[in-house]
Amino acid sequence: MNDSPPAEAISTAPASTAHGTADAPDPRRWWGLVIIALAQLMVVLDATIVNIALPSAQKALGMSDGNRQWVITAYTLAFGGLLLLGGRIADLVGRKRTFIIGLIGFAVASAIGGAAESPAMLFGARALQGVFGAVLAPSALSLMTTTFTDPRERGKAFGIYGAIAGAGAAIGLLLGGILTSYANWRWCLYVNIPIAAVAVIGALMLLHDRPGHREAKLDIPGVILGCGGLVAVVYGFSEAEPRGWSDSLVLTLLIGGVVLLAAFVFWQSKAKHPLLPLRILADRNRAGCFLTMGLATIGMFGLFLFMTYYFQGILGYTPVRSGLAFLPMSAMIILGSTQISARLLPRTPPRLLMVPGMLLAASGLAVLTQLGVDSAYATHVLPAELLLGLGMGLTFMPVFSTATHGVRPQDAGVTSAMVNTSQQVGGSLGTALLNTIATSATSTYVGQHLTNPAQKAQVLREGIVHGYTQAIWWGVAAMLLAAVASGVLVIARPSGRGAPAGAAAAH
């Protein structure tokens, strides 16, 4: 960022900002941030970049309509289900090491997926991407947590990180459209290889980390219960979209997942070396951040799903034009994170950014509930994107910063994993829940309005848009609940003043 102080000036920061060391901050840490941000962007991109390439991949590999969802589900299932394990492994063996392992594994999995000759090979590669993403993402965020401890530097660093987390999904849609249109769907996977190569070289040269906490043991029962419960819940949400919420498999997965997670919480209160120390969840600021993140992504991921189909199916946009249509929202997320939240957080309580952010995002979604089949982009979609993007930018940065601030060094990885888990579960729930609501509303609308078979195409288009708008109202409700959660639970004081527990506590 242009307003970031030069490395030479930063290096004179007081030694007390380091985690219990007398060393001055690393003068190359801003370059290290570039590497961390690049890796995080790769992980976030892959949640959406394949979406636009999916029709081409389906045709090339002969996938059935029933199986094509596994290109998306295999990634989200492995990623969301294994994040807690990945975070704890990062704490045990060292974040830089797991960061590099995650990058290399992600690149190898991407190469396998790009070269896939059958649907099963592509599904397996996407699952492998999710596995290594679950190692990489918490390592990246915990490296941020342990590298940037000075409140002002932390604000700028987490502003950049929050912008990437929020805008990466929209950038993925654009990049996916460009690669699919002008190269080949396989390049939506191959593109990760050069990104990972640059990040690995940069990590080896620029990143530093303390040794892992080898005195701790991996909580095997916790791994089975926690990861098993998360996989069941994420899988249940993803299957609810094609099967319906009353399907026996969906109900079994969701109920079984909740039971496993309840057993996991009980076990964590008894375990000598818990996978997720309950003290992390007991802190109301962190709990509020996790809840806010989960609720916010319910609305945001639902929006990406509906607007992608609205642009292409209703407005007739090409994949590239659809991606470009999301750019104003990405720009506002970046502006809100880096130029507003990052500047205000050292002097402003986090909830005074998060609550207005969620209210702005809710108002943006509310604008989209007025969409029709003939709505103009400039008058109906663009204002909503600007409001939503600014709101998410204001919210994401303080969520990431507050959730990971003041955490014990040996818990940085698993705390970072919880932030990512909240985002992943919220995204899975949002996609499944809102899509089911939209499909049901569309069917009802068409059944009530289709009186003349000659008008079937028009009524169907109207029904699809009606379904979108009804579902988006639920997204509005999720954003408003996020505003309440952050307003009630997050009581941290400004990170630049005082040292409240869980917010600006001494590390």
Give the start-to-end residue ranges of the domains of the chain.
26-218+275-489, 219-271
Whole-number average pLDDT of the chain:
84
Task: Give 9 or 337, the one with higher predicted confidence.
Answer: 337
Task: Give 184 or 12, the one with higher predicted confidence.
Answer: 184
HSE (CB half, 13 Å, CA atoms) of 59?
Answer: 7
Residue 151 sits at φ, ψ, to 5 deg, of -55, -45
Is the pLDDT confidence value at 12 over 80?
A: no
Which of these ranges, 259-263, 291-295, 440-444, has the smallest mean pLDDT?
440-444
Fold assignment, 26-218+275-489: Growth Hormone; Chain: A; (1.20.1250)
User: pLDDT tens digits for 353-384?
Assistant: 999 999 999 999 999 999 999 999 999 999 99
Q: Band of the pLDDT at 21, cuts 50, 70, 90?
A: very low
From residue 488, alpha-carbon distances to 279, 333, 401, 492 in Å are 19, 24, 18, 11
User: pLDDT tens digits for 51-78?
Assistant: 777 878 888 999 886 677 788 878 888 8
- Report the greatest alpha carbon distance in the chain: 79
Q: For residue 355, what pLDDT is reported?
A: 97
Q: For residue 8, what pLDDT is reported?
A: 34
Q: If you average pLDDT over residues 310-323, what whole number do you get?
A: 86
Task: Give 441 or 237, the one with higher predicted confidence.
Answer: 441
**How far is the C-alpha of 202 from the C-alpha of 199, rounded, in Å?**
5
From residue 396, alpha-carbon distances to 63, 146, 149, 329, 340 in Å are 37, 19, 18, 14, 12
What contacts 141, CB < 8 A, 6 or more positions away? 40, 161, 400, 404, 416, 419, 420
SS3 call for 233 = helix
Q: For residue 16, what pLDDT is reported?
A: 37
Which of these ranges, 20-24, 209-213, 236-240, 289-293, has the smallest mean pLDDT?
20-24
How far is C-alpha 154 from the chain's CA centre? 20
Q: For residue 496, what pLDDT is reported?
A: 62
What is the number of other CB atoms lying within 10 angstroms of the CB of residue 26?
17
Is the pLDDT confidence value at 50 over 60?
A: yes
What is the number of other CB atoms lying within 10 angstroms of the CB of residue 278?
12
Amino acid identity of 94?
G
Residue 278 near residue 269, CB atoms below 8 Å = yes
Q: Band of the pLDDT at 215, cuts 50, 70, 90?
A: low
Residue 301 near residue 165, CB atoms below 8 Å = no
